[in-house]
Structure 1
């Protein structure tokens, strides 16, 4: 089987690259199976502090492979794709989605797992389910409104309009939009900045954010008070380095 998702590790960062460039990284069952294997391996890898998800070639992903749908794809288990997407979202490490070029429908559903989404200026986001008389099953009806708000999510889903990189940053779909020429440097700088801080804190903070999502303020504050993990094993070392400056 060809390598449909490539994992590259460097200095604590695991980069997962969708690798069907000749098909604009259209998403197939085989690709999701390989992505699942990588996610499972990364979850328990203490040497990984941050994950970058991106597409190889001209774009992030043109979306679910329509040829697969038309031919009657049969996942080895029900809801395989949505389960893999949820596993990726639930990774204990911070996840950065790096989006350039097309990021349509299923590709957008996959990109939304990012704790941080970085868009290049040439990025193009769209939800085109309605264009094909389809409805979501991979999570976009829940994740998109939580990023951009319900009115904007409705607009995107009803119009199937393309949102380009600068607008994506304006509406909160992307955390930032970066000039194409600076895209690679920005991804590297962002991962380095995250890795420089406590990996213990990143995991604990992400866990708190995920577990309290949807709670009322009062319930969330109480949960934080009783479930915080406190200081990490490197807390005193970090404070000692600061006080000795």
Structure 2
């Protein structure tokens, strides 16, 4: 046991890392910790200086789920609303999120990883939808995430049998994006997060939302959403910057700035010029 916070927040080069920090419990999450994680996700989503997010665990484990050994007062429905808020905030983050998974990711811990946009694991990582072994059913979005990611029959296999699978099996089911050696995972995730953080933040946010919504919507809905999203993208400085970088044969410098920020000053300058010429 230590006096360290159970959730660590680190900012570096536009990348925010949230680390679940209860290694003595394989980072099992208490109810108070769920609230802190929810608040940390809200803060990240509201911070324009955060352009990529990494979620990981301390001490060789990602997360062993909710800590059911810690009893707290309150109706279960109130507690489940907290889990709902965490899952929603994670899904709706405007910036890309990466789960860096060492060791176990089980129950709500696995669904926490599945709620991210990318999962990077090591060969030693293991995964389980452990809920039925505890007399419980899926939570933290698992009942939506699994069927959307692997199809209904494989989702039932994982959830009803509560099997433990390794990283390579998870990769074959498209539940892990990359499997890399343990000694390489930090550099791999740092490089991935850096590449994402250097991208056009508004376009990345629009694309992420389109894919999330399109996964369970109709083609007509997707086409309408795409048209609206492009209108937002064209109103940023990033679209013309990408074109300039292409013609100048250099890497683009994306900022997510709003192209109309200086329109009032230009309009006023034009009006004054018109008055002087009258």
Q: Smaller-chain TM-score range?
A: over 0.9
Q: Which residue does 2:195 correspond to in 1?
A: 193
For the Cα contact (< 8 Å) 2:119–2:176, is it kept in 1? yes
Q: Which residue does 2:94 correspond to in 1?
A: 92
For the Cα contact (< 8 Å) 2:100–2:119, is it kept in 1? yes
User: C-alpha distance in 1, partners of 2:75/2:96?
Assistant: 28
Q: Which residue does 1:156 correspond to in 2?
A: 158
Q: Which residue does 2:36 correspond to in 1?
A: 34
User: C-alpha distance in 2, partners of 1:75/1:52?
Assistant: 32
Secondary structure of 1:53's aligned partner: strand
User: C-alpha distance in 1, partners of 2:125/2:5?
Assistant: 25
Deviation, 1:225, is 2.2
Alignment gaps of 5+ in structure 1: none
Q: Which residue does 1:242 correspond to in 2?
A: 246
Q: Which residue does 2:171 correspond to in 1?
A: 169
User: C-alpha distance in 2, partners of 1:226/1:17?
Assistant: 35
**Aligned-residue CA RMSD (Å):** 1.9
Instruction: Tell me which moved more, 85-94 or 213-222.
Output: 213-222
Secondary structure of 2:216's aligned partner: coil
**1:120 maps to 2:122:** yes
TM-score normalised per structure 2 = 0.82
Secondary structure of 2:233's aligned partner: coil
Deviation, 1:209, is 2.4
TM-score normalised per structure 1 = 0.92
Secondary structure of 1:130's aligned partner: helix
**1:47 maps to 2:64:** no
User: C-alpha distance in 2, partners of 1:195/1:236?
Assistant: 19
User: C-alpha distance in 2, partners of 1:23/1:118?
Assistant: 22
CA-to-partner distance for each residue in 1:152-201, whole Å, 9 max, x for gaps?
A: 11111122111111111111001111111211111011111212221121
CA-to-partner distance for each residue in 1:100-124, whole Å, 9 max, x for gaps?
A: 1000111112111101111111110
User: C-alpha distance in 2, partners of 1:97/1:235?
Assistant: 29
For the Cα contact (< 8 Å) 2:138–2:159, is it kept in 1? no
User: C-alpha distance in 2, partners of 1:219/1:41?
Assistant: 30
Deviation, 1:2, is 5.2
User: C-alpha distance in 2, partners of 1:145/1:225?
Assistant: 28
Deviation, 1:218, is 2.9
Alignment gaps of 5+ in structure 2: 250-278
Secondary structure of 1:41's aligned partner: helix
For the Cα contact (< 8 Å) 2:22–2:28, is it kept in 1? yes
Matched positions, count: 243
Deviation, 1:10, is 0.6
Deviation, 1:72, is 5.3
Instruction: Tell me which moved more, 74-83 or 19-28.
Output: 74-83
